[in-house]
Amino acid sequence: MATFDVIILGGGPAGYVCAIRCAQLGLATAVVEQEKLGGVCVNIGCIPTKALLHSAYIANLLKESKEFGVEAGNVTTDYGVAMKRSRRVSDQNSKGVEFLMKKNKITVVKGTGVLQPGKKVKVGSDVYEAKKAVVIATGSRVKGIPPIGLEINKTTVISSDEALLMERVPASLAIIGAGAVGMEFADIFNAFGVKVTVIEALPRILPLEDAEASDTLNKSYRKRGIEVIAGAKVTKANVGKDKVTLDVEAGGEKKQVTAAAVLMAAGRAVNIENIGLKECGIQLTERGFIKVDKNLQTSTAGYYAIGDVAGPPMLAHKGSREGVVVAELIAGQKPHPIKYDNVPSVTYCHPEVASIGLTEDQCKEQKLDYVAGKFPFSANGRARGTGETEGFVKILRDKKYGEILGAHIVGSHASEMIHELAVARENEYTVEEVELAIHAHPTMSEAIAQAALDSLGRVIDT
């Protein structure tokens, strides 16, 4: 029986990062992975979608290029080519993780791991023992909505897994769920000429984002011909051989949506089945995540859980940070606690939506005394130059102390810009420190300084 200091179940962004940090701290580490290293993120999630979104961006750019003095002629798109490119990007990244495992002398065990009592993990007929800890990082998967007949069949009812591997796009696509995944695929397929309808049960798209962000994106999508139905309930689904008809109720009206395929983008299920949780006495929360304490240890000592299985937000960067913290805890260090209220959230559609902290509605619900500062990109020189004037920066600050309660960016490069505010919040800078930092001109980031100024009542550029 092979022994290690730490055995990690799952080689996704939580698991592999945890493994590397363990190795850095001198712990003998093994990662058990049944598929490719890098997990959903690298192989069928974050990374390939970003590659496809860039293809979509180029397609949209070329359609408008005439205005910029560049004629591209008749622009045609080929999803198969874009898809193959996205696969190469994913493979490169997965190989990159493989290389990192070797570089850090981490043992990778291929196969499905099952936990056993006594800090043991069974893979096939082999049993591995951990001297210090077992870390559960098995992640999550797409889920369908079987009760209304929308069981994923991989042809007409698909998940992101299938959407990422299509050779050809369907003529039309209904997307159920307008969270990050749904909105990103809507953007991609629209750019590739698909008639897209997005259906969201909650009153607005990107329901977790600030209402103004949802509104701006809603307008932008409608302008591009994407149909958006929010506050909608799918009452019945008629799944045919080459089309699906959905009965939808929205705003008191009933209507039918027919599409060549339906993409299920409403939530994910955590991978907690058949991995030996019960046998090890590991308890779950009411919502079905693995129950962990503030040190991410499960109800059984020596077993930790990180990433999606440990609870929301189900984001790669949150899982990676948990991986680092758990590795340091196992090594006897005292890492700084994770600030779960300071995890940036990004949707990489066009325009991008990025946020951190509270939304304006949450500020109101919590009865906080806040001031909102806002700056539109239509007043930003750089944005005008590139023709990307959609969107805004909004900063919500505490009225008394200037604490940045929340920040919301809609616009080109929002995903990159949000980190200025993440750093500010992490270090407890107030809006004044953000504004005091000189921002280069002309940049999109100037809008952050201007929004900070606006919250102080002294905006310069509007």
Active site residues per annotation: 441
Tokens 């109800």 belong to: 299
Nearer residue to other proteins within complex by CB, 305 or 405: 405
Nearer residue to other proteins within complex by CB, 64 or 432: 432
420 binds other proteins (CB under 8 A): no
Rg (CA), the chain: 23
428 binds other proteins (CB under 8 A): yes
The angle formed by the CA atoms of residues 273, 102 and 334, to the nearest 5 degrees, is 70
Q: Measured from the CB of residue 188, what is the shortest distance to other proteins in angstroms? A: 40
401 binds other proteins (CB under 8 A): yes
Distance (Å, whole) CA 312 – CA 413? 25
5 binds other proteins (CB under 8 A): no
Residue from 45, 276, 376, 402 in contact with other proteins (CB under 8 A): 402
- Partners of 234 in beta bridges: 248
Q: Please state whether beta strands 352-357 and 404-411 pair in parallel, antiparallel, or not at all (unpaired).
A: antiparallel
From the list 91-99, 145-153, 368-376, 428-436, the region that binds other proteins by CB under 8 A is: 428-436
- Report CA-CA distances (Å) from 396 to 44, 227, 373, 416, 421: 35, 31, 6, 19, 11
Distance (Å, whole) CA 318 – CA 295? 14
427 binds other proteins (CB under 8 A): yes
10 binds other proteins (CB under 8 A): no
**Binding residues for other proteins restricted to 137-156, rule: CB under 8 A:** none
334 binds other proteins (CB under 8 A): no
Q: Please state whether beta strands 244-250 and 253-259 pair in parallel, antiparallel, or not at all (unpaired).
A: antiparallel
Structure tokens at 322: 């948990």
Residues 290-329, mask of contacts with other proteins (x by CB under 8 A): ----------------------------------------
From the list 2-10, 234-242, 300-308, 399-407, the region that binds other proteins by CB under 8 A is: 399-407
Q: Measured from the CB of residue 113, what is the shortest distance to other proteins in angstroms? A: 35
Q: Measured from the CB of residue 406, what is the shortest distance to other proteins in angstroms? A: 15
Residue from 75, 240, 432, 460 in contact with other proteins (CB under 8 A): 432
From the list 78-86, 207-215, 421-429, 438-446, the region that binds other proteins by CB under 8 A is: 421-429
Say how many residues touch other proteins, by CB under 8 A.
Answer: 11
Contact 362, 209 (CB under 8 A): no
Per-residue buried b or exposed e for 153-183, using 16+ beta carbons within 10 Å of the residue's own CB: eeebbbbbebbbebeebbebbbbbbbbbbbb
- Picking from 276, 326, 224, the residue whose alpha carbon sits closest to that of residue 20 is 326
Q: CA-CA-CA-CA torsion for 94, 99, 102, 108, nearest 10 degrees?
A: 10
Structure tokens at 408: 């919301």
Q: Please state whether beta strands 261-264 and 157-158 pair in parallel, antiparallel, or not at all (unpaired).
A: parallel
Residue from 105, 294, 400, 441 in contact with other proteins (CB under 8 A): 400
- Partners of 195 in beta bridges: 172
Distance (Å, whole) CA 366 – CA 358? 10
Q: Measured from the CB of residue 398, what is the shortest distance to other proteins in angstroms? A: 9
From the list 226-234, 314-322, 370-378, 424-432, the region that binds other proteins by CB under 8 A is: 424-432
Residue from 35, 91, 433, 461 in contact with other proteins (CB under 8 A): 433
340 binds other proteins (CB under 8 A): no
287 binds other proteins (CB under 8 A): no
- Picking from 322, 457, 343, the residue whose alpha carbon sits closest to that of residue 406 is 343
Contacts of residue 261, defined as CB under 8 A and 6 or more positions apart, other chains included, come to 155, 156, 157, 158, 170, 172, 173, 174, 244
Nearer residue to other proteins within complex by CB, 370 or 377: 370
Q: Measured from the CB of residue 401, what is the shortest distance to other proteins in angstroms? A: 5
Burial zone of 434 (CB within 10 Å; 0-12 exposed, 13-18 middle, 19+ buried): buried
369 binds other proteins (CB under 8 A): no
Distance (Å, whole) CA 182 – CA 444? 26
From the list 98-106, 290-298, 410-418, 429-437, the region that binds other proteins by CB under 8 A is: 429-437
Distance (Å, whole) CA 160 – CA 241? 20
From the list 113-121, 174-182, 316-324, 396-404, the region that binds other proteins by CB under 8 A is: 396-404
Residue from 403, 420, 446, 454 in contact with other proteins (CB under 8 A): 403
Residue from 105, 223, 334, 336 in contact with other proteins (CB under 8 A): 336
Q: Measured from the CB of residue 395, what is the shortest distance to other proteins in angstroms? A: 14
Q: Measured from the CB of residue 435, what is the shortest distance to other proteins in angstroms? A: 12
Give the number of residues written for the chain. Answer: 462
**Interacting residues toward other proteins by CB under 8 A:** 336, 400-403, 427-430, 432-433
